[in-house]
Amino acid sequence: MTSARDLMTPDPRCVGEKDSLVEAARLLRDLDVGALPICGEDGRLKGMLTDRDIVVKCLADGGDPSSVVAGDLAEGEPVTIGADDDVQEALRTMQDHQVRRLPVIDGHDLVGIISQADIARSLSSSDTGRTVEEISE
């Protein structure tokens, strides 16, 4: 069985829930990524933040990215997968929730992220195509 742990990119960097969106944007830029997990002071995952979230949920509404914090954009319970869960369950979760990046947890600890790129590098073209199609609906 291939597990989520086998597919994930390990040791993701987090943006703190109390970090400003300016700090988050700089981290996105410096890491050359489009999304980051939002982690609380307790180290637990609070949500995901994308570059698009910063633009659409802050800037477009006239918000000040130096005073809005990442945690303000964390909505609802984050969609996750267990590190030892089967990769097919990870694909179903991504498809069902239409998420392009899936945080991987071990207990309560964030240990990785599965992205569409991880799927494309590791799985068959049919699994990749089906997942991308379902996510993009």
pLDDT per residue as tens, the chain (137 positions): 789 999 999 999 999 999 999 999 999 999 999 999 999 988 889 999 999 999 999 999 999 999 999 999 987 789 999 999 999 999 999 989 989 899 999 998 999 999 988 888 877 777 767 776 777 76
State the pTM of this model.
0.86
Residue 121 has what pLDDT? 84
SS3 37: strand
Q: Which of 53, 54, 48, 52 is nearest to 115 (CA)?
A: 48
SS3 35: strand
The answer to whether residues 104 and 10 touch, using CB atoms and an 8 Å cutoff, is no
Residue 137 has what pLDDT? 67
Q: Can you give the residue ranges of every domain in the chain? A: 4-135
Dist. CA 136–CA 31, nearest whole Å: 25
Residue 14 has what pLDDT? 94
According to CATH, the topology of domain 4-135 is CBS-domain (3.10.580)
Strands 15-16 and 109-115: unpaired
